[in-house]
């Protein structure tokens, strides 16, 4: 027998998916994921997914800003001190635009790379695509997949649990 | 009372009318004893409250154009504030008796001694000041009255025509608002300094007005959110959206305020830098630092966090911080031109502020009480509110 990745339930609306995710989380499942054609408000919270991305972006922004100011200060005060119109060498108002820009750059690069990295992308193969109707996850269907590695996963019992959520279909996902 | 009016949301109409009349009455003593202090304070109060009304008109027009769930909850606050423009136009009249106390271009000796100011006499003169002031108030009053009239028509009809008219006017209206405010900002505020000019200044004033008005309506929304009529609109999501809007305007305001500082600081020309020298002399420096901290840094970092925007009491505290800083900003923008030596505030500042503020607030509550609190017949309202 082929090894299974998990059990997948199919829903026709995003409300049902969020509701199902909440039920599954209440039941104790943790290794699960939801799939939808558009970003569903509240789905990540319902699945109990937490992200450190906001904190990382904040740190990225602060590093970008401090780095920029240090670069300008070092260039203008230490390395190449030049008297420009009698202004102080450490002319903070003139340094603000670059500091601001590199704060944004630091924050956005962090957001871009860490959101890819933390979601495990790029990923050329994912078992959920073994389910034929899963292609509708990018059109008009909503899926909840409970993975076999969850400590509460028990084949038929889990199937019964998913059945209690009134899905359209339930499929076994091959690894 | 009829079916189109809800029970009063906020009490205190009579008290604030009394405060207004008393405040202005006491201020008259200041007019007689220290006219300069009186007129600087009076101009400050008028500019502040005209800003709340105009800023509200600006947000109202933005919402007519963009729509959105957040705007229906605060529509009546915005309309009530914009409806105060005729009152504030009337309250502007005393300024015309104090032009010599406020503006150097009214003094022939100063003009004769200043080549630059002499060249500006073709624009900066009494007749021009009065004509432009009447013209900008006329434009604002006609525009706001039309929007209020159509909004009232929309309350009693299911036709979409009034909303279409409001939207059609709001597009050009959002262009006309900063253009007319440019004349007002140059005449009323900028010309208090002998030589100073800044092309960025009027739009900085405009964005400040919208920021101040936004902070006020957030306070009012958070305050009244528990009332039966607004409860269904007072969702966490709505506060989140309006909090995001506050963050956007805090950033926009800081961007413009810093942009002006950077350009003038880099140029370091005598005619330009004087404005900042007057505003950082003595105690004014601490006021400038206060404004930087509490109109930008503190609200900016707090508003970056989602929980702050989603909890209405916390958001209201941030809005209060912005609102108070905005009051201080207007005083810091106006007063150092007359008192460049160092921090100055007078008891007349307080009495004129509460005098005009009391009347403004009483009229605001009166406007608010005449309408339903929610624009139920707006064609986009039904789509925006889940039934």
The number of CA neighbours under 13 Å toward the Cβ of B312 is 18
- The closest CB to that of B261, out of A58, A85, A93, belongs to A93
Looking at the complex, does the CB of residue A85 fall below 8 Å from at least one CB of chain B? yes
A80-98 pLDDT, tens digit per residue, is 999 988 889 999 999 999 9
Chain A, chain B: beta-carbon pairs less than 8 Å apart: 14
For B334-367, letters b (16+ CB in 10 Å) and e give: bbbbbbbeebbebebbebbbbbbbbbbbbbbbbb
- Whether B262 and A85 lie within 8 Å, measured CB to CB: no
| Closest chain B residue to A54, measured at CA | B305
- Two structure tokens written together for B51: 């800003």
B220-248 pLDDT, tens digit per residue, is 998 888 776 677 777 888 899 999 999 99
Calculate mean pLDDT across residues A143-166.
82
Name the band, by pLDDT with cuts 50, 70 and 90, for residue A2.
low
- Cβ neighbours, 10 Å, residue B50: 26
> What is the full DSSP assignment across B187-212?
IIIGGGSSS---TTHHHHHHHHHHHH
Percent pLDDT > 90 in chain B is 74
A58 and A142 share one domain = no
Chain A residue numbers touching B268 (CB-CB < 8 A) = 85, 87
Calculate mean pLDDT across residues B361-373.
89
Interface test with B, best of A86, A93, A104 (most B CBs within 10 A): A93
- The closest CB to that of B262, out of A58, A85, A96, belongs to A96
Chain A residue numbers touching B262 (CB-CB < 8 A) = 93-94, 96-97
A163 and A111 share one domain = no
- Whether B265 and A93 lie within 8 Å, measured CB to CB: yes
ipTM score here? Answer: 0.74
| Closest chain B residue to A57, measured at CA | B304
- Whether B262 and A94 lie within 8 Å, measured CB to CB: yes
Q: Summarize chain B as % helix, strand, coil (round to 5).
A: 80, 0, 20
- Two structure tokens written together for B286: 């601490």
Cis peptide leading into A122, omega within 30 of 0?
yes
Selection from B143, B16, B30, B26 nearest residue B79 by Cα: B143
A26 and A74 share one domain = no
For B112-124, letters b (16+ CB in 10 Å) and e give: eebeebeebeeeb
A45 and A17 share one domain = yes
Look at residue B103 in the predicted model and tell me its pLDDT.
95
A109 and A131 share one domain = no
| Closest chain B residue to A87, measured at CA | B266
- Judge contact between A105 and A68, C-beta under 8 A: no
The answer, yes or no, to whether residue B183 has pLDDT greater than 80, is yes
Number of domains in chain A: 2
A77 and A111 share one domain = yes
Angle (nearest 5°) at CA B386 between B384 and B387 = 125
**Containing structural domain, residue A131:** 4-49+121-174
- Two structure tokens written together for A138: 């990018």
Chain B residue numbers touching A93 (CB-CB < 8 A) = 258, 261-262, 265-266
Chain A residue numbers touching B266 (CB-CB < 8 A) = 93-94
Chain B residue numbers touching A94 (CB-CB < 8 A) = 262, 265-266
A65 and A112 share one domain = yes
The answer, yes or no, to whether residue B387 has pLDDT greater than 50, is no
- Judge contact between B196 and B274, C-beta under 8 A: yes
C-alpha distance from A132 to closest chain B C-alpha (Å): 35
User: H or E segment at B137?
Assistant: helix B126-155
Look at residue A121 in the predicted model and tell me its pLDDT.
86
- Whether B262 and A87 lie within 8 Å, measured CB to CB: no
**Which class for A81: exposed (0-12), middle (13-18), buried (19 or more C-beta within 10 A)?**
exposed
Q: Which residues of B touch A (CB under 8 A)?
A: 258, 261-262, 265-266, 268, 304
- Judge contact between B133 and B184, C-beta under 8 A: yes
C-alpha distance from A22 to closest chain B C-alpha (Å): 20
**Between residues B2 and B271, which one has the greater pLDDT?**
B271
Look at residue A5 in the predicted model and tell me its pLDDT.
87
The 8-class DSSP code of residue B131 comes to: H
- Whether B268 and A94 lie within 8 Å, measured CB to CB: no
Look at residue B378 in the predicted model and tell me its pLDDT.
79
The answer, yes or no, to whether residue B4 has pLDDT greater than 80, is no
Name the band, by pLDDT with cuts 50, 70 and 90, for residue B384.
low
Of B63-72, B187-196, B325-334, which gets the smallest average pLDDT?
Answer: B63-72
A167 and A153 share one domain = yes
A115 and A126 share one domain = no
Calculate mean pLDDT across residues B336-346.
92
pTM of the full predicted structure?
0.88
| Closest chain A residue to B268, measured at CA | A85
A8-60 pLDDT, tens digit per residue, is 888 888 888 888 888 888 888 888 888 888 888 888 888 888 888 889 999 99
A63 and A97 share one domain = yes
Looking at the complex, does the CB of residue A96 fall below 8 Å from at least one CB of chain B? yes
The answer, yes or no, to whether residue B2 has pLDDT greater than 80, is no
- The closest CB to that of B262, out of A58, A85, A93, belongs to A93
- Whether A85 and B261 lie within 8 Å, measured CB to CB: no
The answer, yes or no, to whether residue A71 has pLDDT greater than 70, is yes
Chain B residue numbers touching A87 (CB-CB < 8 A) = 268
User: H or E segment at A169?
Assistant: strand A169-174
The answer, yes or no, to whether residue B200 has pLDDT greater than 50, is yes
Look at residue A89 in the predicted model and tell me its pLDDT.
92
Chain B residue numbers touching A85 (CB-CB < 8 A) = 268
User: What phi and psi values does residue A6 have, to the nearest 5 degrees?
Assistant: 175, -170
The answer, yes or no, to whether residue A145 has pLDDT greater than 90, is no
- Whether B258 and A96 lie within 8 Å, measured CB to CB: yes
A34 and A12 share one domain = yes
| Closest chain B residue to A55, measured at CA | B305
Name the band, by pLDDT with cuts 50, 70 and 90, for residue A109.
very high
The answer, yes or no, to whether residue B250 has pLDDT greater than 80, is yes
Chain A residue numbers touching B261 (CB-CB < 8 A) = 93
User: H or E segment at A5?
Assistant: strand A4-11
C-alpha distance from A96 to closest chain B C-alpha (Å): 9
Name the band, by pLDDT with cuts 50, 70 and 90, for residue B385.
low
CA dist list (Å): B70 to B160, B244, B368: 20, 11, 18
Mean pLDDT score of chain B: 91
- Whether A94 and B266 lie within 8 Å, measured CB to CB: yes
B7-32 pLDDT, tens digit per residue, is 567 778 899 999 999 999 999 999 99
A44 and A127 share one domain = yes
| Closest chain B residue to A95, measured at CA | B262
């Amino acid at each position: 027998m082929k090894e299974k990745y998990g059990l997948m339930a199919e829903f026709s609306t995003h409300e049902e998916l969020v509701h199902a995710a909440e039920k599954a989380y209440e039941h104790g499942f943790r290794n699960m994921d939801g799939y939808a054609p558009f970003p569903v408000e509240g789905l990540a919270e319902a699945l109990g997914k937490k992200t450190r991305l906001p904190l990382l972006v904040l740190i990225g922004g602060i590093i970008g800003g401090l780095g920029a100011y240090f670069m300008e200060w070092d260039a203008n005060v230490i390395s190449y001190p030049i008297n420009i119109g009698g202004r102080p060498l450490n002319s903070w108002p003139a340094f603000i635009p670059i500091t601001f820009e590199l704060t944004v750059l630091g924050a956005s690069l962090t957001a871009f790379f860490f959101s890819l990295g933390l979601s495990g992308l790029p990923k050329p193969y994912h078992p959920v695509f073994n389910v034929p109707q899963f292609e509708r996850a990018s059109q008009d269907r909503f899926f909840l997949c409970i993975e076999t590695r969850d400590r509460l996963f028990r084949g038929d019992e889990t199937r019964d649990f998913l059945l209690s959520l009134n899905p359209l279909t339930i499929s076994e996902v091959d690894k | 009372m009829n079916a189109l009016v809800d029970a009063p949301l906020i009490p205190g109409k009579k008290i604030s009318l009394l405060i207004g009349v008393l405040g202005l009455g006491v201020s008259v003593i200041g007019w007689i004893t220290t006219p300069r202090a009186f007129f600087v304070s009076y101009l400050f109060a008028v500019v502040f409250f005209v800003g709340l009304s105009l800023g509200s008109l600006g947000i109202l027009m933005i919402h007519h154009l963009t729509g959105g769930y957040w705007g229906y909850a605060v529509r009546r606050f915005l309309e009530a504030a914009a409806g105060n423009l005729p009152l504030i136009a009337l309250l502007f009249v005393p300024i015309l008796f104090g032009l010599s106390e406020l503006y150097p271009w009214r003094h022939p000796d100063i003009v004769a001694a200043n080549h630059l100011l002499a060249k500006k006499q073709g624009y900066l003169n009494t007749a021009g000041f009065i004509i432009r002031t009447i013209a900008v108030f006329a434009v604002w009053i006609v525009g706001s009255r039309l929007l209020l009239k159509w909004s009232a028509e929309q309350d009693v009809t299911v036709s979409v025509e009034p909303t279409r008219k409001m939207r059609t006017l709001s597009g050009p209206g959002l262009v006309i608002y900063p253009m007319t405010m440019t004349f007002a900002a140059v005449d009323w505020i900028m010309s208090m300094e002998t030589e100073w000019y800044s092309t960025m200044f009027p739009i900085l004033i405009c964005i400040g007005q919208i920021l101040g008005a936004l902070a006020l309506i957030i306070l009012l929304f958070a305050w009244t959110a528990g009332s039966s009529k607004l409860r269904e609109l007072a969702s966490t999501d709505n506060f989140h959206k309006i909090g995001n809007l506050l963050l956007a305007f805090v950033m926009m305001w800081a961007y413009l305020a810093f942009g002006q500082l950077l350009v003038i600081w880099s140029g370091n020309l005598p005619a330009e830098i004087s404005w900042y020298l007057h505003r950082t002399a003595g105690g004014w420096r601490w006021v400038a630092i206060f404004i930087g901290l509490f109109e930008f840094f503190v609200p900016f970092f707090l508003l970056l966090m989602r929980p702050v925007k989603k909890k209405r009491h916390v958001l209201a505290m941030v809005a209060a911080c912005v609102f108070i800083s905005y009051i201080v900003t207007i005083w810091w923008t106006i007063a150092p031109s007359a008192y460049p030596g160092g921090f100055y505030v007078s008891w007349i500042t307080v009495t004129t502020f509460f005098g005009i503020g009391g009347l403004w607030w009483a009229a605001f509550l009166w406007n608010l009480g005449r309408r339903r609190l929610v624009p139920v017949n707006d064609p986009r309202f039904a789509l925006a509110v889940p039934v």
